Amino acid sequence: MSLLLSLVALLVSLLLFVARRRHGYWQRRGIPHDVPHPLYGNIKDWPKKRHIAKIFRDYYLKYKGSDYPFAGFFFFFTRTAVITNLELVKRVLIKDFNHFENRGVFYNEIDDPLSATVFSIEGQKWRHLRHKLTPTFTSGKMKNMFPIVVKVGEEMEKIFSGKTTSGQGQVLEIVDLVARYTADVIGNCAFGLNCNSLNNPRADFVTIGKRAITDRRYGGMLDFFLFGFPKLSRRLRLKLNVQEVEDFYTKIVRDTIDYRLKTKEKRHDFMDSLIEMYQKEQAGNSEDGLTFNELLAQAFIFFVAGFETSSTTMGFALYELARNQDVQDRLREEITNVLGKHNNEFTYEGIKEMKYLEQVVMETLRKYPVLAHLTRMTETDFSPEDSKYFIAKGTIVVIPALGIHYDSEIYPEPEKFKPERFTEEAIAARPACTWLPFGEGPRNCIGLRFGLMQTCVGLAYLIRGYKFSVAPETQIPMKVVVKSILLSAENGILLRVEKLSK
Ligand code: HEM
């Protein structure tokens, strides 16, 4: 018994020694950092007290301007460098991208095919897949999908029309309504489904889509392991996605492929492009083709990455427009004028002409970058001329986008909503890598154009026909859901919505 106790004591002491040594890394290198908690590292306030992006924002604001271009951080025991210098941001994301190509997140293409998405896979496989998928997102392809987006926009208009009156208007929770619009748009374009969640809020497609974001295979118990040790987790054959989600999407994709191949139907959407690549693979051209599992994972990530990001952006935009009536009026005037020039119809060219709308969306994404911190994994020792910049292989690098967006030296009065920060001249006057809602460089958001298109079309429909204003129920200042990785408003956004006479 006493031998057993001694062994346990020895093991505990050994673990404590290893943990302390690991947490002493930044100290030994003389890099500025906060003293890490023995277990949680510097992430103690997450996921209960503070949003993870706000932790990184505050870290950036605290350490920027120090003698070093980054500050040391521990995500539990994972060695992390939080970048505090714009020159280094540019090097990580663009100039020295070959050192920082991967995100270091979990995926397991054999046991959990849905997890092997272009967002998570690594190295040569990622380069190859990204290259194959890029033509799916050209402006020509966006133009082809535009009519689908407009059709769903019209449906959303009808829903708003049914819920509002002129005069006093109604207080509505708008995030759920616009989420149904983006779910229908992406459901149509990525899976070829008329999922009709606008009219049926409990459509399986949306409820399972939400579960795909929130539910974890092991009820969250192994999150620490999956996120902290992705490679080991893969070797242990762990999975991330729940079986029901996997089965649901596998069936939809299988049925859609079979249907389109049988009927030869062409919709000019994401699914068409993916099926073209699948057919190449079937014909023996694996260089340009996609296997069924590869296709499945990409359709899935297009939905997961494209639906909530755009709907929360629309929600935040409406919240700011409700609080800034002058901006809302000016935006409505632009929308009405441009539509007037285009026969009162929504056209791809017309939306492109709405420059102020674009500025409003850009300023919204500055204040609320939905994915508010970017991550990269250092693949090889990054040892540039200046040793202060040295980052060892295996370190996670965090670009604190929210911190940069709220840096008053870059954006004076950062709390204020000012779309004029995004005129062409104002953008040109700022340094590179100071607006990062879609990331930057070769691994930026592949769906940027599509995300902007669906956000702009949706907002144009709503602002043209409705006035949004603050109600007593509107939560000001807005509270965000602290446990989520994306930024989103706690309990949605309640606004007064009034139908405008035509
Ligand atoms: C307002 C809407 C959107 C926002 C704010 C957004 C934001 C982002 C961000 C911040 C990243 C990481 C970039 C980086 O690390 O440098 C990303 C990656 C990605 N996004 Fe988006 N996104 C949006 C819409 C979309 C849409 C509509 C799609 C697909 C249809 C999409 C698909 C992806 C994919 C596949 C990646 C991973 C790219 C790669 O690793 O090669 N996103 N997005």
Kindly give the confidence (pLDDT) of every residue in the chain, 502 residues in length, as a single tens digit, with 9 standing for 90 and above: 788 888 889 988 888 888 899 999 999 999 999 999 998 899 999 888 999 999 999 999 999 999 999 999 999 889 999 999 999 999 999 999 999 999 999 999 999 999 999 999 999 999 999 999 999 999 999 999 999 999 999 999 999 999 998 778 899 999 999 999 999 999 888 887 776 677 777 677 778 877 887 777 877 677 777 877 888 999 999 998 889 999 999 998 999 999 999 999 888 999 999 999 999 999 999 889 999 999 999 999 998 899 889 999 999 999 999 999 999 999 999 999 999 999 999 999 999 999 999 999 999 999 999 999 999 999 999 988 898 999 999 999 999 999 999 999 999 999 999 999 999 999 999 999 999 999 999 999 999 999 999 999 999 999 999 999 999 999 999 999 998 889 999 999 999 999 998 7
| Cα gap 40→27, rounded to integer Å | 17
Mapped onto helix, strand or coil, the DSSP state of residue 368 is coil
Q: Residue 369 CA: which ligand 1 atom is closest?
A: 5
| Cα gap 74→62, rounded to integer Å | 16
CA 126 to centroid of ligand 1, rounded, Å: 15
CA 251 to centroid of ligand 1, rounded, Å: 25
pLDDT in tens, 67-126: 999 999 999 889 999 999 999 999 999 999 999 999 999 999 999 999 999 999 999 999
Phi and psi at residue 261, to the nearest 5°:
-70, -35
CA 326 to centroid of ligand 1, rounded, Å: 31
Q: Residue 93 CA: which ligand 1 atom is closest?
A: 16
CA 446 to centroid of ligand 1, rounded, Å: 6
Q: Which of 374, 453, 366 is nearest to 405 (CA)?
A: 366
Query: Which pLDDT score is estimated for 212?
Result: 80
- Tell me the HSE value of 33 on the side-chain side, using a 13 A CA sphere: 26
| Cα gap 142→135, rounded to integer Å | 11
Q: Out of 360, 374, 438, give the residue to mutate to test ligand 1, the one with the largest number of ligand atoms within 8 Å of its CB.
A: 438
Amino acid at 176: D
Which residues contact ligand 1 via a Cβ below 6 A?
118-119, 130, 301-302, 305-306, 309-310, 313, 370-371, 374, 437-440, 443-447, 450-451, 455
CA 388 to centroid of ligand 1, rounded, Å: 31
DSSP state of 56: H
Return the residue whose CA atom lies nearest to atom 7 of ligand 1: 438
DSSP state of 94: I
- In the chain, domain spans: 31-499
Return the residue whose CA atom lies nearest to atom 20 of ligand 1: 445
CA 396 to centroid of ligand 1, rounded, Å: 19
Ordered alpha helix ranges (H), 368-477: 401-405, 424-428, 448-465
Q: Which CATH superfamily is domain 31-499 in?
A: Cytochrome P450 (1.10.630.10)
